[in-house]
Amino acid sequence: MNDTLLDNQSQHTSPPYSVSLSESVFDILYADIEPPKVIIPNMLIEGEATMLAAHAGGAKTFISQYIAACVSTGSGCFGAPPSSPLNVLYIDGELSAYQIQQRFRAIFSDLGYATPTHTLQIMHKQHLQQVGALPDLATANGFSSIATDINNADVVIIDNLSALCPSADEMTQNAWNIYNHTIDTMRHAGKAVLILHHTDKNGISYRGHSEIARAVDNVIIAKKDTTLSTHNKTVIDLKKTKSRNAPSRETFMSITFGDLRYDGGFSMQYRL
């Protein structure tokens, strides 16, 4: 097993140091620091974690599955031009194997891929339960059990916190310490992380304690536009409520998906 993540998990204490650990601001200002790669504008950035929150049925899984398919094939996605494929790990804690199959068949067909790529790896609940390895990502053992898969990925998608962190009380601050430590570890390793969660009753913010979003750089709230959505299509508005590197924004993108061609097929479109 690749122990990179495991080693980082065990480093909870540090010995005292007799030398200064600070760094001059001039050294930082004039250092040759490569900017992080923007994989999908406003949503997926190398070395950053983004939370995508929505009500149940708010299409957060469909959107994240589409992102996974696009990034793993190098397809253009939501304003990002085509690029080299990246290794994506999608951790699904709710859907059955059949549901995953039907969703990705429709998505890959829309992207024009008859044969999906091996750069997209799915870790799903049904298979994990069969082998007795369903991880609790609020615990060190939970993350350690999937360390090899995480270390092999450029992009990690966690779908979703309620299903994959069953031991953590959403309203208890300390319940999220190990989870946040591991998200930080993935960020520092240069991985792009997308975390799916539910919104509160009003659909304005994510559900639970503020500590749930402590390690994330961006929070995006997805909300269904009930006026424009029909039996053929679903319209979702995305609003960024937290951004460490830029001002928070009102609705920055609308996504429409469904049988948009009225031919029984699936397609997805976006509008900035």
Question: Which three-class secondary structure state does DSSP give residue 98?
Answer: helix
The pLDDT value recorded for residue 197 is 98
Q: Count of domains in the chain? A: 1
Any idea what DSSP says for residue 194? Answer: E
The pLDDT value recorded for residue 193 is 98
The pLDDT value recorded for residue 135 is 87
The pLDDT value recorded for residue 126 is 81
DSSP element (H, E) containing 272: none
pTM check: above 0.85: yes
Q: What is the CATH number of the domain that holds 75?
A: 3.40.50.300
In a domain, 161, yes or no: yes
In a domain, 24, yes or no: no
In a domain, 157, yes or no: yes
Closest listed residue to residue 212, CA positions, set 177, 163, 166, 249? 177
Domain of residue 64: give its range: 34-271
Alpha-carbon distances, residue 132 vs 123, 128, 135, 156, 268 (angstroms): 13, 6, 9, 22, 36
Tokens representing residue 69 in the block: 């398919």
In a domain, 256, yes or no: yes
In a domain, 12, yes or no: no
The pLDDT value recorded for residue 4 is 57
In a domain, 123, yes or no: yes
In a domain, 167, yes or no: yes
Question: Which three-class secondary structure state does DSSP give residue 109?
Answer: helix
Question: Which three-class secondary structure state does DSSP give residue 203?
Answer: coil
Give the DSSP per-residue string, 244-267. Answer: SSS--EEEEEEEEEESTTSSS--E
Which pLDDT tens digits describe the chain residue by residue (272 residues)? Answer: 344 554 555 555 566 667 888 999 999 999 999 999 999 999 999 999 999 999 988 899 999 999 999 999 999 999 999 999 999 999 999 999 999 999 999 999 999 987 767 899 999 988 777 776 778 999 999 999 999 999 999 999 999 999 999 999 999 999 999 999 999 999 999 999 999 999 999 999 999 999 999 999 999 999 999 999 999 999 999 999 999 887 777 899 999 999 999 999 999 999 99
In a domain, 16, yes or no: no
